[in-house]
């Protein structure tokens, strides 16, 4: 599936916007995980992406390379994306809730999520994706609080976020898919649903009343 014309230049305001955010992230030293990082991991991909994947936080390989989702679980995610939908990883934008590696891959703490929130919000505003795929419970909770991932993964919904309506599609984190065959099969099935979401003109109904506004202002 080809989503983009390779010869179509990306809008320069998007490239500039994302570069500025990435530079701020790389220069930030306000958290211990930022001071201790080998590399910050701002995110990468198509500035004009229709799909944005948001994970949790960089792991060891991401910290070493400065690139998101390039370790074992990331390679699985990129492979299943391409094999199931035909979409190349460079056609989407891939980032995380937290932009620096927590030690020993522990869960990010609220202070770290909050310190990185503004960068992620601005990345979403600049890219304006059609679909936001959350990978794992931390990024899901940003848009859909108080739910469990096993109950709602693979179910798309409209979410109004920062004055814009997005389709949010919660998915398991690929690390969970690596741990068990059952979750792996569900993870793969969700990518097939994502493909449907992209190719069906009106895959989900607009809400009758405005969807809950998760957050109303950025600045
Ligand atoms: N897990 C994540 O959540 N993000 C990465 O970038 C890599 C692994």
> 70 pairs with which residues across the strands?
none
CA R_g for the chain: 16
Domain boundaries, the chain: 13-199
Ligand 1 proximity of 174 Cβ (cutoff 6 Å):
no
CB 135 within 8 A of CB 97: no
With pLDDT > 90 as the criterion, what percentage of the chain qualifies? 84
206 band by pLDDT with thresholds 50, 70 and 90: low
What Cα–Cα distance (Å) separates residue 16 from each residue in 19, 22, 39, 119, 142?
A: 5, 10, 21, 14, 26
The superfamily (CATH) of domain 13-199 is Uracil-DNA glycosylase-like domain (3.40.470.10)
Q: How many angstroms separate the alpha carbon of residue 5 from the centre of ligand 1? A: 28
Strands (E), 59-208: 93-96, 131-135, 157-161, 164-171
Please list the alpha-helical segments (H only) found in 51-136. Answer: 60-65, 72-85, 110-127
For the chain, give the mean pLDDT: 91
In the chain, count of helices (H) and strands (E)? 9, 6
Ligand 1 proximity of 74 Cβ (cutoff 6 Å):
yes
Ligand 1 proximity of 56 Cβ (cutoff 6 Å):
yes
With pLDDT > 70 as the criterion, what percentage of the chain qualifies? 88
pLDDT (mean) for 24-48:
98
Q: Is 14 exposed, middle or buried (0-12, 13-18, 19+ CB in 10 A)?
A: middle
SS3 of residue 21 by DSSP: helix
> 161 pairs with which residues across the strands?
164
Q: How many angstroms separate the alpha carbon of residue 64 from the centre of ligand 1? A: 13
Ligand 1 proximity of 58 Cβ (cutoff 6 Å):
yes
Ligand 1 proximity of 102 Cβ (cutoff 6 Å):
no
Angle at 177 between CA 72 and CA 55, to 5 degrees: 70
pLDDT tens, position by position, 77-112: 999 999 999 999 999 999 999 999 999 989 999 999
Q: Is the pLDDT of residue 200 over 90?
A: no
Q: Is the dihedral of CA 41, 138, 82, 183 positive or negative?
A: positive
């Amino acid at each position: 599936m080809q989503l983009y014309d390779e010869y179509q230049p990306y809008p320069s305001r998007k490239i500039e916007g994302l570069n500025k955010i990435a530079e701020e992230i790389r220069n930030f030293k306000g958290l211990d995980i930022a001071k201790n990082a080998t590399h910050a991991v701002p995110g990468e991909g198509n500035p004009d992406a229709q799909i944005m994947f948001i994970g949790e936080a960089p792991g060891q390989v991401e910290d070493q390379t400065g690139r998101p989702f390039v370790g074992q679980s990331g390679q699985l995610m990129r492979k299943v994306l391409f094999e199931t939908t035909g979409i190349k990883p460079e056609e989407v934008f891939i980032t995380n809730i937290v932009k620096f590696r927590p030690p020993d891959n522990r869960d990010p703490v609220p202070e770290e999520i909050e310190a990185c929130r503004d960068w992620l919000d601005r990345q979403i505003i600049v890219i304006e994706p059609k679909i936001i795929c959350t990978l794992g419970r931390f990024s899901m909770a940003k848009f859909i609080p108080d739910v469990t991932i096993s109950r709602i993964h693979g179910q798309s919904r409209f979410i109004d976020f920062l004055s814009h309506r997005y389709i949010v599609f919660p998915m398991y984190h690929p690390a969970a898919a690596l741990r068990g065959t059952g979750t792996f099969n569900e993870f793969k099935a969700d990518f097939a649903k994502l493909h449907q979401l992209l190719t069906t003109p009106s895959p989900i109904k607009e809400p009758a009343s405005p969807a809950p506004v998760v957050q109303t202002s950025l600045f």
